[in-house]
Structure 1
Amino acid sequence: MKKYLFLLGSTLVAATPAMAAEANDTIVVTATREPTPVTQIGQSVSVVTRDEIERSQATTATDVLARIPGLATAQSGGFGQPSSVFIRGADNAQSLVLIDGVRINDPGDVGGGFNFGSLTIAQFDRVEVVRGSSGVIWGSRAMGGVINFITARPTEQWHARAQAEYGWRDRRQASLSAAGKLGPVGLTLGGNWMKGDGYSAFDEALGGTEKDGFESKSANARAEVELTQGLSVDAGGYWTKANYDYDNTGADALNVGLKRDALGYANLRYKGLDGRLNARVGYGLTDTRRVSDDAVWGPYETNGRVERFEGQASFAPIEMVSVLVGAETEKQKFDDNYGSKDSTSIDSVYGNLTLRPLAGLTLNGGLRYDDNSDFGDRTTFAANGAWVIGSGDDAPVLRASYGEGFKAPSLYQLYTNAGFRALDPETSKGWDVGIEQPFAEGTGRFTVTYFDRKTKNLIDYDFASWNYYNIGRTRAQGVELGMQVVNWNGFDVNLAYTYLDATDETTGAQLARRPKNNFYASIDKAWEVGLKLGADLRVGGGRYDDMANFNRLEGFTVVGLRGAFTVTDNIEVYGRVENLFDKHYEVVRTYGTPGRSAYAGVRVKM
């Protein structure tokens, strides 16, 4: 613990002269489902922009998420392998994942969550993360938080970007995105391809020799048009398919896998009364397919499908008051090639009241009623507030929130292999309080937040009985520290530190794969001649790989270097070295992580 505190303090001292970040008037949509200034949001929110994605040279979603306070990742091998993201210690399946505001969680996944293992980042323009329960606004699966991947929106003038990259073990990547208007229709189009030899999913330090390669393809599209003044329609979709090799837990194997995700959506929107009334009706469809083809036992296939109809309206009768109401109906279907087949549905209504009684003070309170076809009804409550203390660009923001969550067992947990299991729904109650201090005339921020969440009936797997069961009570509490610097005299600095105590309150054991300490720091410098240089440091604390706490994985420290050079106004070349000192470590027992690797590429913007 002293080592992590020393690293944290050293980085803070080194970065203090350069405290800058996004301005306080940043608009986010994920926390409230409506465009809202971040200073009016009582929950903890992080925003990652396209500039930050390119500066860090991230290629996958987990590359980006691992840099955010409160988040930890665990992947069982290389690209395509199962990958989880834990928000404040919440299970991967307890966090809602969105693409352009549409749910991408998979009913064919073990817990109904989302497997991040093959999600690339090139097509996305922005990532918003809300930490803490968002169940009232977003419903089931948002107990831990919400992650929203957002593509570019069309503008009057067309703009496009392309990228190509090559590196370690013959990894090749190419992407293209464009957005603009074609007559009255706004269009966004994008695509990404990545292929490589990979490395052994079974840890090469333990004897893994067979490389587990992969190939990923993805595409996205969106169209929007204004029908009449205030009335518009938009529709779009996202599709990705990944083929990959994988190993068994303790040996090389010639197993192959496939993961295919597709979503589509359509919305009819109305905006009137000088912007005081906003309404939307929408439809969303998510369709998934997974194949795990074991070289000995043959393929296991799962298919999941979710259909949603939803309506939402917000109205601000006066400047100090706004009301948001909505209703949703969702149907899930699941089947596999072993005969499991079932469906479930959930109907919901929700409402949120926002008050601004004083200058700088915003209060939110909401209720949600869910009626699950298998587990009955449940009402949840949430409240949060944000207070800008004083005026001016350097005024601190005090935030506090409380939220309840409800999540029914997934169809996979209920019906696969052994038939129906008598599982109870997971429920949670959590709160947090934090303060944000702006710096550098309001363009920077430093945040510190304390959080505490208690969960009942967390669902886990018992390897002794080969079955799922409910854990009585768990608790996750801790502290998040964050700081960002963007273009202060050419410097960019990012710092994220999390202390997490996530335990099974019945046994006292630590929850599996949640590190107690997680630290990330980066610094970049740009010169007027077009040269950019940067470095990052990741320190992952020790963690247990199992709920019984028999198998402990030691912590690790990984360093990376990167550089870029602007050749023309539209062309930039770049390169990086990851895991500079070729550190060996594991985040999932017996599964490998990449050694020293180098990549180089070119970006073109138009």
Structure 2
Amino acid sequence: MKYLFLLGTALAVSTPVMAQDVIEIADLRRPDNDRTDITVTATREPTPITQVGQSVSVVTRAEIERMQATTATDVLARIPGVSTVQSGGFGQPASVFVRGAENAQSLVLLDGVRINDPGDVGGGFDFGALPIGQFDRVEVVRGSSGVLWGSRAIGSVINFITARPTEQWTARGQAEYGWRDRKQASVSAAGLVGPVGLTLGGNWLKGDGFSAFNERRGATEKDGFESKSANARASIEFAPGLSADAGGFYTKASYDYDDTGADAPNLGHKRDTLGYANLRYEGLDGRLNARVGYGINDTNRSSYTAAYGPYGLYESNGRTERFEGQVSFAPVEQASILVGGETEKQKFDDNYGAKDSTSTDSLFGNLTLRPFHALTLNGGVRYDDNADYGDRTTFSANGAWVIGEGVDAPVVRASYGEGFKAPSLYQIHTNIGYNALRPETSKGWDAGIEMPFAQGTGRFTVTYFDRKTRNLIDYVTIDPVNFTGAYFNVDRARSQGAELGMQVTGWQGFDVNLAFTYLDAKDRDSGTRLARRPRTNLYASIDKAWNMGLRLGADVSVGGGRYDDIANMQYVSGNAVVGLRGAFAVTDNVEVYGRIENLFDEHYELVRTYGTPGRSAYAGIRVKM
């Protein structure tokens, strides 16, 4: 019965056509169905999707609510080319692998400001404690974006975007309750106070959780969690074309965790504080745009491992400060140029005496040509000068060609990009007395076609990608008796594969999403598969809405087997997880909803020995004004 259900769901979502690249921006279409979908992350400026040669996925607020997502990983796991793993429940370490790239090889942004943690082992971002309730939109650019975004943007750029105010005040609130006493509440509002535009939001999430060490292996304790976060943004126009904005984001999470292959009374805490400010100018009838900005990201991480007694506390602090400026100018309709410069300073310290800092100065430029209306070509170059690892020049090129006219015209895309990632401060300090590391570098390309259908309500996309990475950094044990080691450039990797996707939005009351990825990610020296990357990954969902206000939906996630270690000695089997959901609009402004996750109580692991949720149910209410 279980597998008949899975097969039926897959057939149902495959019926309209085969698949799509999940460019989920239907909410931005004009009433006349003209293709005016916009992305910001791909080019650092608002750009129609049809003029972007890279693979871009956008998830809107409407889609977040429809899937009843509560965390960032809930959203990202539904995108082609993306796989996620978490060492237990909410608050536990979570990694996102985009096209096989390491978690630390993805640049993570909040409203365009970097939130990667300089105190993280690889300088990456831990997605484990990031709720999604405060965000209005998520954009993911797959493939290298190193020319425009710099170090760490080897695998992707992921941008979480909050709402922007309009002349009419809007507000929404949400509360839900469910399995193991999990409670969540979120609120947000946006509008004008005189000449000032304001956006405010907050989120609270708390629950008993489940054991990080797999309960089906004998664990009995629950690893609970609590998260509190808030965001704010203000903008004002001083004069025609001259404006400023500033904002911030704060989150604090605490959680219990296990890390010894058994129940353990360990405690963890995370605190992230982000602030930014921008001064903007627009002139010459929109042909000239300039911006100067400042951003700061301050993080604190602490963990207490009970087995080590008074020596079990580890605390680290990281800070990134960044000044940047950019100017774009379109002398003619067929051409535009973007140039910019950045300077970034990072600091890191911990309670064991580690203390280090570094800086990077960068210049970049991008030329856009439109030789005729349907063709857009982009080419860019970047120069980075790192205080510890010298300079590096990277290049990129991409193009998009719309074949024909109208909303059903196919789009052919292709891109080439190079990436550069300097070693993290944690890795640098750990290596004192051993060896000098070299930066990780990459070269990759992709090509694909997008086939719209059903008057623009549906899109099918197939994309092939290939990326080679050199000088991958990994930890190597030097003294197994005293458990000491260092980081070395040990690997060359290659990730290649294909992404298929389909999305249908509002077609006769149906919303359909299908995302399938085939990934061949290997160490080029040993021939082994990269750890924790499944060879195949499938997500499929279907929702049906009726005029009475009722909406019902189902989804299935099928993850292939993976190895938990680079030596390919520890294999983790694949899984198939089914969910059901429903919502009913009581009034135009009030909606009640509920869902069942892991309907068939699938027993599985994503990280060896770490638990995943069993069958669970949640119910909630949303209010909009």
Q: TM-score, with normalisation over the residues of structure 1?
A: 0.97
Runs of 4+ residues over 6 Å off in structure 1: 5-9, 17-21
Output the CA distance in 1 between the equivalents of 2:297 and 2:196. 25
* 1:215 alignment partner AA: E
Q: What is the DSSP-based 3-state SS (H/G/I as helix, E as strand, rest coil) of the residue aligned with 2:263?
A: strand
Output the CA distance in 2 between the equivalents of 1:235 and 1:44. 30
Q: What is the DSSP-based 3-state SS (H/G/I as helix, E as strand, rest coil) of the residue aligned with 1:533?
A: strand
Report the alpha carbon displacement of residue 427 of structure 1 after superposing the two structures with TM: 0.2
Report the alpha carbon displacement of residue 420 of structure 1 after superposing the two structures with TM: 6.1
Partner in structure 2 of residue 376 of structure 1: 390
* 1:429 alignment partner AA: K
Identity %: 75
Partner in structure 1 of residue 17 of structure 2: 16
Q: What is the DSSP-based 3-state SS (H/G/I as helix, E as strand, rest coil) of the residue aligned with 1:62?
A: helix
- Call closer, same or farther: CA 1:547–1:17 in 2, change over 3 Å: closer
Checking the alignment, whether the CA contact within 8 Å between 2:413 and 2:447 is kept in structure 1 is: yes
Partner in structure 2 of residue 414 of structure 1: 428
Cα deviations across residues 541-582 of structure 1 (Å, max 9, x unaligned)? 000000000000000000000000000110000000000000
Output the CA distance in 2 between the equivalents of 1:270 and 1:252. 56
Partner in structure 1 of residue 231 of structure 2: 220
Q: What is the DSSP-based 3-state SS (H/G/I as helix, E as strand, rest coil) of the residue aligned with 2:519?
A: strand
Report the alpha carbon displacement of residue 9 of structure 1 after superposing the two structures with TM: 7.3
Output the CA distance in 2 between the equivalents of 1:376 and 1:14. 54
Specify every segment of 5 or more residues in structure 1 that has no aligned partner in the other structure, as ranges.
none
Q: What is the DSSP-based 3-state SS (H/G/I as helix, E as strand, rest coil) of the residue aligned with 2:50?
A: helix
RMSD value over aligned CA atoms? Answer: 1.7
Q: What is the DSSP-based 3-state SS (H/G/I as helix, E as strand, rest coil) of the residue aligned with 2:17?
A: helix
Checking the alignment, whether the CA contact within 8 Å between 1:40 and 1:361 is kept in structure 2 is: yes
Partner in structure 2 of residue 300 of structure 1: 314
* 1:346 alignment partner AA: T
Cα deviations across residues 178-206 of structure 1 (Å, max 9, x unaligned)? 00000000000000000000000000010
Partner in structure 2 of residue 317 of structure 1: 331
Tell me if 1:523 matches 2:542.
Answer: yes
Cα deviations across residues 215-254 of structure 1 (Å, max 9, x unaligned)? 0000000000000110000000001000000002411100
Partner in structure 2 of residue 189 of structure 1: 200
Listed as ranges, the matches of 1:344-383 within 5 Å are: 344-383=358-397
Report the alpha carbon displacement of residue 148 of structure 1 after superposing the two structures with TM: 0.2
Partner in structure 2 of residue 145 of structure 1: 156
Checking the alignment, whether the CA contact within 8 Å between 1:18 and 1:491 is kept in structure 2 is: no
Tell me if 1:583 matches 2:584.
Answer: no
Output the CA distance in 1 between the equivalents of 2:206 and 2:362. 42
Report the alpha carbon displacement of residue 258 of structure 1 after superposing the two structures with TM: 0.3
Cα deviations across residues 259-309 of structure 1 (Å, max 9, x unaligned)? 111110000000000000000000000000000111132210010000000
Partner in structure 2 of residue 513 of structure 1: 532
Which of the residues 569, 580, 593 maps onto 1:561? 580
Partner in structure 2 of residue 477 of structure 1: 496
- Call closer, same or farther: CA 1:303–1:568 in 2, change over 3 Å: same
Tell me if 1:432 matches 2:441.
Answer: no
Output the CA distance in 1 between the equivalents of 2:149 and 2:225. 34
Report the alpha carbon displacement of residue 436 of structure 1 after superposing the two structures with TM: 0.2
Which of the residues 333, 338, 355 maps onto 2:352? 338
Checking the alignment, whether the CA contact within 8 Å between 1:456 and 1:471 is kept in structure 2 is: no
Listed as ranges, the matches of 1:193-272 within 5 Å are: 193-272=204-283
* 1:340 alignment partner AA: A
Which of the residues 540, 546, 558 maps onto 2:559? 540
Q: What is the DSSP-based 3-state SS (H/G/I as helix, E as strand, rest coil) of the residue aligned with 1:580?
A: coil
Report the alpha carbon displacement of residue 88 of structure 1 after superposing the two structures with TM: 0.3
Tell me if 1:165 matches 2:165.
Answer: no
* 1:426 alignment partner AA: E
Listed as ranges, the matches of 1:276-291 within 5 Å are: 276-291=287-302
Which of the residues 40, 59, 65 maps onto 2:70? 59
* 1:329 alignment partner AA: T
Tell me if 1:447 matches 2:466.
Answer: no
Partner in structure 1 of residue 103 of structure 2: 92
Partner in structure 2 of residue 178 of structure 1: 189
Q: TM-score, with normalisation over the residues of structure 2?
A: 0.94
Cα deviations across residues 401-448 of structure 1 (Å, max 9, x unaligned)? 000001010001111386664211100000000000001112321100
Output the CA distance in 1 between the equivalents of 2:601 and 2:566. 30
Checking the alignment, whether the CA contact within 8 Å between 2:431 and 2:487 is kept in structure 1 is: no
Q: What is the DSSP-based 3-state SS (H/G/I as helix, E as strand, rest coil) of the residue aligned with 1:324?
A: strand
Checking the alignment, whether the CA contact within 8 Å between 2:430 and 2:486 is kept in structure 1 is: no
Output the CA distance in 2 between the equivalents of 1:314 and 1:534. 44
Checking the alignment, whether the CA contact within 8 Å between 1:162 and 1:176 is kept in structure 2 is: yes
Output the CA distance in 2 between the equivalents of 1:419 and 1:577. 53
* 2:382 alignment partner AA: R
Output the CA distance in 2 between the equivalents of 1:91 and 1:44. 18
* 2:173 alignment partner AA: A
* 2:327 alignment partner AA: A
Q: What is the DSSP-based 3-state SS (H/G/I as helix, E as strand, rest coil) of the residue aligned with 1:120?
A: coil
Report the alpha carbon displacement of residue 472 of structure 1 after superposing the two structures with TM: 3.2
Partner in structure 2 of residue 387 of structure 1: 401
- Call closer, same or farther: CA 1:227–1:295 in 2, change over 3 Å: same
Partner in structure 2 of residue 601 of structure 1: 620
Checking the alignment, whether the CA contact within 8 Å between 1:87 and 1:131 is kept in structure 2 is: yes
Q: What is the DSSP-based 3-state SS (H/G/I as helix, E as strand, rest coil) of the residue aligned with 1:251?
A: coil
Tell me if 1:25 matches 2:39.
Answer: no
Output the CA distance in 1 between the equivalents of 2:120 and 2:170. 37
Output the CA distance in 1 between the equivalents of 2:230 and 2:147. 31
Checking the alignment, whether the CA contact within 8 Å between 1:232 and 1:268 is kept in structure 2 is: yes
Q: What is the DSSP-based 3-state SS (H/G/I as helix, E as strand, rest coil) of the residue aligned with 1:16?
A: coil
- Call closer, same or farther: CA 1:75–1:419 in 2, change over 3 Å: farther
Report the alpha carbon displacement of residue 16 of structure 1 after superposing the two structures with TM: 3.1
Partner in structure 2 of residue 41 of structure 1: 52
Partner in structure 2 of residue 274 of structure 1: 285
Q: What is the DSSP-based 3-state SS (H/G/I as helix, E as strand, rest coil) of the residue aligned with 2:258?
A: strand
Output the CA distance in 2 between the equivalents of 1:475 and 1:80. 31
* 1:311 alignment partner AA: G
Which of the residues 90, 93, 97 maps onto 1:82? 93
Output the CA distance in 2 between the equivalents of 1:70 and 1:214. 29
